[in-house]
Amino acid sequence: MANEIQKIDAYWSLKPDVGTYGPVDDPIWPSGAGTPPTDSEINAEVTRLQAAYDAKKYQRDRAAEYPSVVDQLDDIYHNGIDAWKATIKTTKDKYPKP
């Protein structure tokens, strides 16, 4: 996996208004912040966040391969919209939506 979701990501996702501190793999829940999420809730959230991240891999792959906006605009100016669409379609076809 290109990016592995950490326990701290699950904490922030479950309780975005509560700041944690301490080590990333074992954050410390601040006193007075209410009940911390259970290990089961955290593990389920890590799994959910990782699946959401993995599902958008095609978007990251496309973004890395598309020409810059400046180059795309230049392509449109010199070759027209249809040629630009063909250029972009090559990348979209290479990395299709699941």
Digit-coded pLDDT (tens) for 39-53: 999 999 999 999 999
Residue 22: partners with Cβ closer than 8 Å, 6 or more residues away: 28
pTM score: 0.70
Alpha-carbon separation of residue 78 from 29, 43, 72, 82 (angstroms): 58, 52, 10, 11
Q: How far apart are CA 83 and CA 38, in angstroms?
A: 54
DSSP strand E in the chain: where?
Answer: none
Distance CA 69, CA 64 (A): 12
Q: What is the DSSP letter of 21?
A: B
If pLDDT is split at 50, 70 and 90, which confidence band does 65 have?
A: very high
**pLDDT greater at residue 12 or residue 84:** 84
Q: Where are the domains of the chain?
A: 7-55, 57-94
What is the mean pLDDT of the segment spanning 1-27? 77
Give the residue from 22, 20, 25 showing the smallest Cα distance to 6. Answer: 25
Q: Please give the share of the chain, as a percent, with pLDDT higher than 90.
A: 59
pLDDT in tens, 29-38: 777 777 888 9
Sign of CA dihedral 28, 33, 39, 45: negative
In the structure, what pLDDT confidence band is assigned to residue 1 with cuts at 50, 70 and 90? very low
Mean pLDDT of 81-87: 96
